[in-house]
Chain A
Amino acid sequence: MMTKQNLIDYTLHLADNALIIGHRNSEWCGHGPILEQDIAISNIALDYIGQARNFYQYAAQLQGNAATEDSLAYLRDVVDFKNCLLVELPNGDWGQTILRQFFFSTYQYFFFQQLQNSLDEQLAAIAEKALKEVTYHVRWSSEWAIRLGDGTEESKQRMLLAVDELWSYTGEMFQEAGYERLAVSEGYGIDLTSIKNSWDAKIKSVFEEATLSLPTVAWMQSGGKEGQHSEHLGFVLGEMQFLQRANPGAEW
């Protein structure tokens, strides 16, 4: 029983990450700086909604009790959400959105690469499917990070601001939450320390090409994975969940 709850929490964490960053990216739809990129970011948002659905459906199945992908996404409150703080931050400008995408996709890339081999077959299958998408997300976001970092003086300044804004939220991805520690010992979770070096190396090489310097600040924000969020998530959920909450039990 204990084990099952942990697998549920672990799965929900992955679902929440995907849903919230997908939601944030979808805010760009119709407002992108270039039509082709509007399409690209909406497409990435769609990939995330798809990933979220896969994880929620699995969590709902594990949970039973008439749980569904929608009850999990729409009827849990801020304290129940287990996403990293990074994904719930407002989009900022295009540079900040790109940089967040690059940080997060790179993390997901190495994470899913390992999760493909999880002892839990469902998680492994979802990871395998998601990895194809994430591989493209890494390519797209790193190309844009380079373009903007090494573009004009203004774009470089904006990227430096974005780095400043986001860097302290990158540490949480590698800080183990309780359910992650347990997931590792139970054999289906990923040891985050094992992917941290790969993440560092990838960030370093792209930053070099983007002519951006890596920050030296050491302090990292955390809490999201354990349900302690920024003020932003409440607004995201307020907007996202209102129809479900205003019409209990309705079909859509």
Chain B
Amino acid sequence: MERNFEEVFQDKIDKEIKIEPKDWMPEKYRQTLIRQISQHAHSEIVGMLPEGNWITRAPNLRRKAILLAKVQDEAGHGLYLYSAAETLGISRDEMYNQLHSGKAKYSSIFNYPTLTWADMGAIGWLVDGAAIMNQVPLCRSSFGPYARAMVRVCKEESFHQRQGFEILLTLSNGTEAQHRMAQDALNRWWWPSVMMFGPKDDESPNTIQSMRWKIKRFTNDELRQKFIDICTEQVKILGLTIPDKDLKWNEVTGHYDFGTIDWDEFWQVVQGNGPCNKERLETRKKAWEEGAWVREAATAYAEKRKNRAATKAA
């Protein structure tokens, strides 16, 4: 019997028919998606912090408004994604608990510090850029609610990347101090961004199943290569240098070769030893704990209103 369900399920996927929350799905598919979507949601929310840092310090009113709108967008993305995950039978509170306890992960990139204004440029250009590369294929995820959430998210991400690029371009063409600031930010954000695509394909054991289920459309290495190819062209316009001396055009492959990724650093940050892991999580927990009385009051008030309405009706 089970086998039959599974066949029907895979058949739908092969035919590019979306799986909807009420449809039968293998437990493993459900769990994998809950992990994938909630991790993505957490990344949006934790990702607000490094840039949020600079809202009060933005150098002019236009930039302040753009940055605030950008960070607010990320909150919106978190919201769409938590809602998509909820359709799989997990509550937002449960997901928060998993984040706060360390059980659920979020993108490691947000465990790096934002030290100067140029970091707003580097994050927009590289981090949102890498996110777009990861997310565009997810608009075709086999799971309907996730695919639809990603369509909305991707629309906003391209504005994020553009504003980041524009910040770097302005700085690069600005004063000497500004140019230095831009190059320094690129030096710090480049490799962590390249790592955003996850471990190498031969160390990414779930990839095959995820591709079969069409919740992943390209491998980590394919996306990483595409990202590097595009950035290596764009950086020429910026007049900055990517901090990789091995970066070289390869006639044979038609791609850029690049240097060795420091996977030790990658795993250290994943395991919690990045420069800001503790801080980011503490900040999220603090916001959650300090907001408890507000959420309780809102619930209590809604309850009172309901009771009053019921009394009136009776």
Partner of A94, one of B117, B174, B294: B294
Size class of the B contact interface (CB-based, 8 Å)? 35 or more
Partner of A26, one of B68, B75, B178, B287: B68
Q: What is the CB-to-nearest-CB distance from B174 to chain A, in angstroms, rounded to a whole number? A: 6
Q: Which of B261-300 contact A (CB under 8 A)?
A: 283, 286-287, 290-298, 300
Contact between chains at B48 and A29 (CB < 8 Å): yes
User: Assuming A49-B68, A150-B304, A243-B117, is B296 touching A155 (CB within 8 A)?
Assistant: yes
Q: How far is the CA of A151 from the CA of B300 in the complex (A)?
A: 5
Q: How far is the CA of A53 from the CA of B64 in the complex (A)?
A: 11
Q: How far is the CA of A29 from the CA of B63 in the complex (A)?
A: 16
Q: How far is the CA of A195 from the CA of B57 in the complex (A)?
A: 35
User: Assuming A33-B287, A42-B71, A45-B68, is B61 touching A69 (CB within 8 A)?
Assistant: yes
Contact between chains at B72 and A29 (CB < 8 Å): yes
User: Assuming A23-B56, A244-B59, is B297 touching A39 (CB within 8 A)?
Assistant: no
Contact with B along A167-198 (1 / 0, CB 8 A): 00000000000000000000000000000000
Contact between chains at A46 and B65 (CB < 8 Å): yes
Q: What is the CB-to-nearest-CB distance from B185 to chain A, in angstroms, rounded to a whole number? A: 14
Main SS of the interface on chain A?
A: helix
Contact between chains at A152 and B296 (CB < 8 Å): yes
Contact between chains at B75 and A42 (CB < 8 Å): yes
Write out the residue numbers on chain B whose beta carbons fall within 8 Å of the beta carbon of A34. 291, 294-295, 298
Q: Which of B112-141 contact A (CB under 8 A)?
A: 117
Write out the residue numbers on chain A whose beta carbons fall within 8 Å of the beta carbon of B107. none
Contact between chains at A53 and B65 (CB < 8 Å): yes
Contact with B along A115-157 (1 / 0, CB 8 A): 0000000000000000000000000000000111011101100
Of B23-31, B76-84, B221-229, the one contacting chain A is B76-84
A231 at the interface (CB under 8 A from B): no
Q: What is the CB-to-nearest-CB distance from A92 to chain B, in angstroms, rounded to a whole number? A: 11
User: Assuming A30-B49, A93-B290, A152-B293, is B61 touching A49 (CB within 8 A)?
Assistant: yes
B177 at the interface (CB under 8 A from A): yes
Contact between chains at A39 and B72 (CB < 8 Å): yes
Contact between chains at B68 and A46 (CB < 8 Å): yes
B55 at the interface (CB under 8 A from A): yes
A219 at the interface (CB under 8 A from B): no
A111 at the interface (CB under 8 A from B): no
Write out the residue numbers on chain A whose beta carbons fall within 8 Å of the beta carbon of B293. 152, 154-155, 158
B8 at the interface (CB under 8 A from A): no
Contact between chains at B56 and A30 (CB < 8 Å): no
Write out the residue numbers on chain B whose beta carbons fall within 8 Å of the beta carbon of A33. 287, 290-292, 294-295
Contact between chains at B68 and A148 (CB < 8 Å): no
Q: How far is the CA of A94 from the CA of B75 in the complex (A)?
A: 18
Write out the residue numbers on chain A whose beta carbons fall within 8 Å of the beta carbon of B174. 250-252
B301 at the interface (CB under 8 A from A): yes
Q: What is the CB-to-nearest-CB distance from A208 to chain B, in angstroms, rounded to a whole number? A: 15
Contact between chains at B294 and A250 (CB < 8 Å): no
Contact with A along B87-118 (1 / 0, CB 8 A): 00000100000000000000000000000010
Contact between chains at B300 and A26 (CB < 8 Å): no
User: Assuming A35-B78, A151-B301, is B290 touching A29 (CB within 8 A)?
Assistant: no
Contact between chains at A39 and B287 (CB < 8 Å): no
A74 at the interface (CB under 8 A from B): yes
A240 at the interface (CB under 8 A from B): yes
Q: What is the CB-to-nearest-CB distance from A20 to chain B, in angstroms, rounded to a whole number? A: 11
Write out the residue numbers on chain A whose beta carbons fall within 8 Å of the beta carbon of B82. 35
A87 at the interface (CB under 8 A from B): no
Contact between chains at A38 and B301 (CB < 8 Å): no
A57, closest chain B residue (CB): B61
Contact between chains at B71 and A30 (CB < 8 Å): yes
A31, closest chain B residue (CB): B287
Contact between chains at B79 and A35 (CB < 8 Å): yes
Q: How far is the CA of A38 from the CA of B65 in the complex (A)?
A: 16
Q: What is the CB-to-nearest-CB distance from B131 to chain A, in angstroms, rounded to a whole number? A: 17
Write out the residue numbers on chain A whose beta carbons fall within 8 Å of the beta carbon of B300. 151-152, 155
Contact between chains at B55 and A247 (CB < 8 Å): no
Contact between chains at A29 and B61 (CB < 8 Å): no
Contact between chains at A32 and B291 (CB < 8 Å): yes
Can you list 13 A-B pairs, Cβ within 8 angstroms, ordered by A?
A31-B52, A32-B287, A33-B290, A33-B295, A34-B295, A35-B75, A42-B68, A49-B65, A147-B301, A151-B296, A154-B293, A243-B57, A244-B60
Which residues of A are at the interface with B, using a C-beta cutoff of 8 A? 19, 23, 26-27, 29-39, 42-43, 45-46, 49-50, 52-53, 56, 69-70, 73-74, 93-95, 146-148, 150-152, 154-155, 158, 239-240, 242-244, 247, 250-252
Q: Give 4 new A-B contacts, CB below 8 A, not counting A94-B290, A147-B297.
A: A32-B287, A33-B292, A35-B75, A243-B59
The 8 A-B pairs at the shortest CB distance, nearest first, are namely A33-B291, A151-B297, A155-B297, A30-B52, A30-B48, A33-B294, A243-B59, A252-B59
